[in-house]
């Protein structure tokens, strides 16, 4: 009994430590004062100002556009790459490919950012939307592969073979058998890629171009001049949207795991 109480207390303290800054940020997004040290009453003016700030709206547009494109492209590429890696025979080649996939995940962001910047300069690409999108796709793909591979290992490997024995073509078996079986991993990989793209700062900072920026860089530039309450409002909206998205996905997963019994 005492041990359970200690565990619950520990969990509460840990969650409080993680989410207390976010709670404070949300509360002060409704503060009428620009100062974080004083409370002058409830207001929604920072949310109203958020939707009239051209710099933030432009950054938000590029952030969402790049996050959606990079997550979709990296999910497609990463899913087929994971299927290819899974189909390889166990041995030196497969282990080498897996270790190469782990490298960008373990690599410091600054190394990846400078490496991509050097590559783009070598290829004489003009820095802008294209280089920013390519850099986001590059660092998202390994995470998608790592999300899809476990689902492939959990799948019954004889299912695609059985489908092809019954007359299905390899592509039809892939589309109707393999993809549905690993869909939870694909969705998880897409969400991780989307979140990483929105959150990224270092790689974006080194590979952006003139007139193209994302929210993390815009917020960093604004924070250097002092925290603007508009940032609190923007962060609150992003947190709420992602929270709602996760709740919807979890509800869907629960329905998939607990289908209604057929009478």
In angstroms, the first-to-last Cα distance of the chain is 42
Q: Is residue 34 part of a domain?
A: no
- pLDDT tens for 235-250 read 888 888 878 877 877 7
Q: Is residue 215 part of a domain?
A: yes
Q: How confident is the model at residue 252 (pLDDT cuts 50, 70, 90)?
A: low
Q: How far is CA 124 from CA 120, 127, 209, in A?
A: 6, 9, 13
- pLDDT tens for 48-74 read 888 888 888 888 889 999 999 999 999
The CATH number of the domain holding residue 146 is 1.10.3720.10
- CB half-sphere exposure, 115, CA atoms < 13 A: 10
Q: Is residue 209 part of a domain?
A: yes
Give the pLDDT score at 143. 93
Q: What is the mean pLDDT of the chain?
A: 85
Residue 81's nearest CA partner among 228, 202, 168, 186 is 186
Q: Is residue 206 part of a domain?
A: yes
Which domain covers residue 148, as residue numbers? 47-238
Specify whether the CB–CB gap between 137 and 73 falls below 8 A: yes
How many domains is the chain partitioned into structurally?
A: 1
Q: Is residue 3 part of a domain?
A: no
Specify whether the CB–CB gap between 71 and 140 falls below 8 A: yes
Give CA–CA dist 80/182, Å, rounded: 11
State the pTM of this model: 0.81
Give CA–CA dist 233/216, Å, rounded: 14
Mean pLDDT of 135-157: 90
Counting residues of the chain whose pLDDT is more than 70, the rounded percentage is 93
User: Exposed/middle/buried for 193, CB within 10 Å: 0-12, 13-18, 19+?
Assistant: buried
Give the pLDDT score at 258. 63
Q: Is residue 23 part of a domain?
A: no
């Amino acid at each position: 009994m005492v041990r359970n109480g200690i565990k619950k207390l520990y969990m509460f303290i840990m969650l409080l430590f993680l989410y207390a800054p976010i709670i404070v940020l949300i509360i002060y997004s409704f503060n009428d004062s620009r100062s974080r040290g004083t409370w002058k009453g409830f207001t929604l003016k920072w949310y109203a100002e958020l939707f009239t700030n051209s710099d933030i709206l432009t950054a938000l547009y590029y952030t969402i556009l790049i996050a959606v494109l990079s997550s979709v492209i990296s999910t497609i590429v990463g899913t087929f790459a994971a299927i290819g890696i899974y189909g390889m025979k166990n041995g030196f080649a497969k282990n080498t490919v897996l270790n190469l996939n782990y490298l960008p995940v373990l690599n410091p962001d600054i190394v990846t950012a400078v490496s991509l910047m050097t590559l783009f300069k070598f290829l004489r690409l003009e820095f802008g939307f294209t280089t920013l999108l390519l850099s986001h796709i590059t660092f998202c793909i390994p995470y998608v592969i790592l999300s899809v591979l476990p689902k492939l290992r959990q799948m019954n490997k004889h299912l695609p073979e059985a489908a092809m024995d019954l007359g299905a073509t390899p592509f039809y078996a892939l589309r109707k058998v393999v993809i549905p079986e690993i869909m939870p991993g694909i969705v998880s990989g897409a969400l991780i890629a989307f979140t990483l793209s929105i959150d990224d700062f270092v790689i974006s900072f080194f590979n952006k171009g003139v007139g193209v920026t994302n929210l993390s860089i815009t917020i960093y530039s604004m924070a250097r001049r002092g925290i603007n309450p508009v940032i609190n409002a923007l962060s609150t909206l992003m947190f709420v949207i992602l929270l709602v998205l996760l709740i919807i996905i979890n509800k869907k997963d629960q329905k998939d795991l607990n289908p209604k019994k057929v009478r």
